[in-house]
Amino acid sequence: MTPPSTKFTLRASMARLIGLCVFLLCMVVAATVIWNQEQHRREFERAEALNRVSGHAQALRQNIQQSLSATYALAALVRHGHGSLPDFDAVARNLLPHYPAATILTMAPAGIIRHIAPLADNEKAVGLDLLTDPATKREATLARDTGNLVLAGPLQLAQAGFAAIAVLPVFLDAADHKPFFWGFTCVVIRFPDALVGARLPQLENGGFNYDLWRAHPRTGRKQTIAASSSTALNEPVNVLLELPYGNWTLSAAPVKGWGDPLGLGLKALIGLSSSLLLAYVAVLVTRLRAHQGKLEEEVAERTKALAVANSDLASREALFKQVLNTSSVAIFLVDLQGRVTQTNQRMAEMFGYPMETLLGLEYVALVNPEEREVARQKMLALLASDIPAVEADRLYWRADKTEFWGHLSGKRFTDADGTEHGLIGVIIDITERKTAEKTLLQHDNMMSAIIENFPGGISMMDADLRLTAYNKQFKQMLEFPDALFEKPDLNLEDIMRFNAQRGEYGPGDIESQVATRVERARKFEAHKFERQRPNGRVLEIYGEPVPGGGFVTAYLDITERKQLEEEVRQLAFYDPLTKLPNRRLLYEHLGQSIAATKRSGYHGALMFLDLDNFKSLNDTHGHGAGDLLLVEVAHRLRNCVREIDTVARLGGDEFVVVVGDLSKDKAESTIQAGFIARKIQNALSAPYLLPVKHDDKAIDTVEHRCSASIGVVVFIDSEGTQEDFLRWADAAMYKAKESGCSLIRFSEATGQAQTAANNSAALAVPVGATR
């Protein structure tokens, strides 16, 4: 047998070994957790940085692309003038303010710069051949050969400094209708002027270094366009700016680098401290268990000695338990503290507890919570001998929280020496009796409860159609006077006659109306209908026959539900701002118009409109002014067409107009659609006087001028579907936009008549022009 001192030494060594293992395990777990958290933190930082840099890159892209669009405006004017633009200087002066990043506009017939604005300080550029100059030859040749806009640079220009030049080839139709190369329209974008809109200094203010660069198209080397520092960026995030002929990249990285070294060190210190603490706790637990083992050995020895003494007592107790368990009622003992000390098997079955669970349980814990305090007071009074016994019906709780009724008989319990040890109680399950009593009571109260608590009006008629029950809502909803219910044996005929006399059923012979309705009621059939009362309220009326004859009728006020259904219909099919049909209702009307063309043979027209000067109003005066403009545009559009035609808003500043019954001839229908489109353009081009509210609630009248680009498709059922016509009209509208805005374009997707219209003066109709 191992000596106690040796056991103590072994247990102490084991405690230290366990503590060391716990420390090492906790350190590994802490290091893993801290490393994963740091990685997630770096990923989150990089994601936030990428999102921020993307915003600046998007702003820069939009600024550059807006400036490049000036070349299209010049190209459109050149094509309009068949290669000539006599008033170039005046046109350029008007265009430049609309393109903040564009500093110079040029025209280069045959590739040679002949016109430049502003001319001051840029005279050296006149006569420059873009197709031969080393700085622009590659990009100009590529633009001429592909017919696409090409961005050259950034590069160092003698006349413009560090800048990029956008080159757009212009092709004109020759006498044989074959296009020929006329030359270029160009826009020069100076740096750093072009970067103002991107707000790149805000990146520096936010703790980031940035680098805007591109891969040089000739050398493939990195060319820095703008940078906040000459220091190389540490693991930067990169956002690609897609531009014509070459992409730029905006890179950024935190000045202080990624991650949080101080926080990482703090986490490591916390991990080390936690590991030491857990190791110490493990040592304490091990020692505690060793001490507990020693106590268990002592308890085992004493238990063995008591086993012999308790053997005789156990035999007697077993006999007593057998006697108790043969009883058909629950028998239990309660000590002076009110806790169960003895029980029989029937009580365990009655309450659904194991017998060992009941022992030591407070008796009042078995009583329903609503009666628990009353039971406690009765038990204390019995223990104090204030009352000799208890006889009571109580609601008890089983282990599964279900209820049952029991009849309790309780008295004080004394031993052979007359010493009081508590109480003895007997419980008989009387649930069936109580259930029967409750069922009878519920049956008596059911009808009154239903009538009084029904959320609407309710009335009951017997087999003789006499009113046997009703609630106050019945009188209130149907506005019956109290005097009507003072009549003895009030019946359905009396109620029908009263309603007919006050005009509930409309004009007609009163007796005939009453007889018809009473005869219908005598059939005792289920019915459901709605009735609008003279006061405008709508009632939903349900009738159900009852056993033995008669019926019960319920009245529900559904006025608000009807109003809500109408509001839902408005929200589902109409634009909430302009009250015009939305996309869903537009598809329904367009489908009907297409079906009508199939039946009648007459063509219809679909016009897709987009406002040309809407964004500037929002930017200058706010979205409130934009909403006022959209409402006025909707009003003017409705005034331009017939009531049977459709005007819809798709969203933003896009509208659709659908007209029908034009003509059976496709060409004539196209002319008619053109007249309607010009009428719409003239109406929308008139000045708008908008009462704009300010924060101080003052109202200023803002005058705004706005026009629309319109795409038109003339349709008939056999030529396409709803989606086809909308897509073609949308594409035609974008052609109008690209051609200079405020124009009308006919779709070429539906046949020769449309094509002829586009080949004529109807191809692009400015406001006020004639075909």
In the DSSP assignment, the letter for residue 454 is -
Backbone angles phi and psi of 572, in degrees to 5? -75, -30
Q: Which long-range contacts (CB under 8 A, 24 or more apart) does 33-39 make?
A: 33/271, 34/264, 34/267, 34/268, 34/271, 37/267, 38/259, 38/264, 38/267
The residue type at 576: P
Chain-centroid distance of CA 223 in Å reads 44
Query: What does 680-748 look like in DSSP terms, one character per residue?
Result: HHHHHHS-EEEEEE-TTS-EEEEEE---EEEEEEEE-GGG--HHHHHHHHHHHHHHHHHTTSS-EEE-S
CA dihedral of 328, 333, 334, 339, whole degrees rounded to 10: -80
Chain-centroid distance of CA 771 in Å reads 49
Structure token pair of residue 315: 């035999």
Computed over its alpha carbons, how large is the radius of gyration of the chain?
A: 47
Alpha-carbon span 97 to 103, nearest angstrom: 9
Is the separation of the CB atoms in 56 and 202 below 8 Å?
Answer: yes
Characterize the bridge pairing of strands 744-746 and 708-715: parallel
Alpha-carbon span 177 to 172, nearest angstrom: 9
Starting from the edge strand earliest in sequence, which strands make up the sheet with 403-414, in order? Answer: 340-343, 330-334, 420-429, 403-414, 389-397
Alpha-carbon span 681 to 711, nearest angstrom: 12
Going along 320-376, which residue ranges are E strands?
330-334, 340-343
Structure token pair of residue 133: 């100059």
Name the catalytic one among 575, 645, 653, 730. 653
Alpha-carbon span 410 to 332, nearest angstrom: 10
Contacts of 701 (CB under 8 A, 6+ apart): 689, 690, 691, 692
How many Cα atoms are found within 13 Å in the side-chain-facing hemisphere of 254?
11
Structure token pair of residue 128: 């420059």
- What is the number of residues in the chain? 771
Alpha-carbon span 405 to 393, nearest angstrom: 7
Structure token pair of residue 629: 């403009």
Is the separation of the CB atoms in 492 and 482 below 8 Å?
Answer: no
Characterize the bridge pairing of strands 340-343 and 161-173: unpaired
Alpha-carbon span 632 to 524, nearest angstrom: 58
Alpha-carbon span 593 to 604, nearest angstrom: 7
Structure token pair of residue 226: 């703008």
What angle separates helix 261-325 from helix 4-80, to the nearest 10 degrees? 120
Start-to-end C-alpha separation, the chain: 121
Alpha-carbon span 168 to 72, nearest angstrom: 7
To the query of whether residue 610 is one of the catalytic residues in this protein, the response is no
Catalytic site positions: 653
